[in-house]
Amino acid sequence: MKGISISKFNFYIIKIKEYIIPFIFLLFTICLILFSNSNLSAAKSGLLLWANSVIPSLFPFFVATELLSHTNIVDILGKLLNKVMKPLFNVRGEGSFALIMGIISGYPIGAKIAAQFRENNVCTKEECERLLSFTNNSGPLFIIGTVGISMFGNSAIGILLFITHILACISVGILFRFWKYNSNSLKNNDLNTYKRKKKNNNLNFSSLGEIIGNSITNSISTIMMIGGFVVLFSVIISILKSSKIIDVLSIFLLPLFNILHIPTSFISPLLTGIFEITNGINVISNIPMKMISINIIFTSFLLGFGGISILLQVFSVISKTDLSIKPYVIGKLLQGIFAAIYTYFFIYAFPIFNFNL
């Protein structure tokens, strides 16, 4: 009898898993109709955000990254920085290209390069997963320009957030050097890596037009994908607010915030930022506080974590590879925590970064 009961229980679990995703999509469609007025406004705001902020800041970097991938810059960086990348992150020197471009350019270029490395056999599966955990970062244009200057009205806050963001990413990279540490695939990949380099470094004047055209086409495809996510999550956040789901979720965090003596006005913006960082940070920056360090620390966490919207963008980018999303999820959660801790330390250890009134 017990065996039959367990079998029935497993059957019901399988059925629930089978229908849960269609049910969520159906519910989303119904909510689109029920909250059509607010959803329309949210979609327009998402499109404006994408057109005015995302495309100008990311598209040129996407094209530049595509063009650089056809040169020997990856090989040069591999030789120059192997003695740094290998001891610190347990990744060959070529991985420095993903780290540098991820820091300069912003989400999701670090993940895109890690996926390309895997597709082109530049690094092993384990190395690419290590790269995923710490190279996909928010860029200086967004942190200093959009967050620091536009949202907080202070470039020094943007500089502080960028410093702690980078320190947190490096900390995560050092921790993840032990990810699948005993893997033996590295040695078997060396010959394939050499062949890949010789095959792909074919940039010359006769092929320049074709390479530029392909780079633009690939970049447009990626930027359109990001735009879709921005609009989609703008609508999802609108639905969560209109249906009061954000308010319900806030109740569960209320005791924790009371214990930590943190104003409860941060709960809803924090939850919003966990779904989509730009909207969440914008609300957090506008909460009036004499202890503005609280606003900055929460912003630092969200910048490090990245949000579910960026998580799904990364998931989409790596979907054609055999890379696991697990190291990325763990790495970004740790980066958010590290960034918040480092920000707290900088604010109270260095008077120049103490913005409290």
Residue 342 belongs to a domain: yes
- Look at residue 320 and give its three-state secondary structure: coil
Residue 263 belongs to a domain: yes
Which are the contacts of 279, defined by CB distance < 8 A and separation ≥ 6? 234, 237, 272, 273
Mean pLDDT estimate for the chain = 83
Spatial CA neighbour of 74 closest among 129, 120, 136, 108: 120
What mean pLDDT do residues 153-163 have? 92
Residue 226 belongs to a domain: yes
Q: Given this model, what pLDDT does residue 137 score?
A: 92
Q: Which residue type, as a one-letter code, is found at position 127?
A: E
Q: Given this model, what pLDDT does residue 195 score?
A: 45
Residue 6 belongs to a domain: no
φ/ψ of residue 72, rounded to 5: -95, 20
Give the whole-angstrom CA distance, residue 24 versus residue 38: 20
Spatial CA neighbour of 94 closest among 190, 9, 16: 190
Would you give the distance in Å from CA 32 to the centre of its chain?
26
**% the chain with pLDDT above 70:** 87
Residue 19 belongs to a domain: no
Residue 205 belongs to a domain: yes
What mean pLDDT do residues 226-242 have? 87
Band (pLDDT 50/70/90 cuts) for residue 12 is low
Is a pLDDT exceeding 50 seen at residue 199?
no
Residue 235 belongs to a domain: yes
Digit-coded pLDDT (tens) for 251-294: 888 888 888 888 888 998 999 899 888 888 888 988 887 788 99
Q: How many domains does the chain have?
A: 1
Digit-coded pLDDT (tens) for 170-190: 999 999 988 876 664 544 444
Q: What is the 3-state secondary structure (H, E, C) of 166-198?
A: HHHHHHHHHHHHHCCCCCCHHHHHHHHHHHHHH
Q: Given this model, what pLDDT does residue 14 score?
A: 61
Q: Given this model, what pLDDT does residue 336 score?
A: 95
What mean pLDDT do residues 215-236 have? 86
Digit-coded pLDDT (tens) for 286-332: 888 778 899 999 999 999 999 898 998 898 888 888 888 999 999 99
Query: If you average pLDDT over each of 59-68, 148-157, 159-168, 287-296, which comes out highest?
Result: 159-168
Give the whole-angstrom CA distance, residue 117 versus residue 287: 42
Range of the domain at 233: 35-353
Q: Given this model, what pLDDT does residue 49 score?
A: 79
Query: If you average pLDDT over each of 63-67, 107-111, 303-307, which comes out highest?
Result: 303-307
Is a pLDDT exceeding 90 seen at residue 64?
no
Residue 136 belongs to a domain: yes
136: which DSSP letter?
A: -
Q: Given this model, what pLDDT does residue 13 score?
A: 61
Give the whole-angstrom CA distance, residue 144 versus residue 150: 9
pTM score, whole prediction: 0.83
Q: Given this model, what pLDDT does residue 36 score?
A: 86
What mean pLDDT do residues 14-36 have? 79
Q: Given this model, what pLDDT does residue 186 score?
A: 47
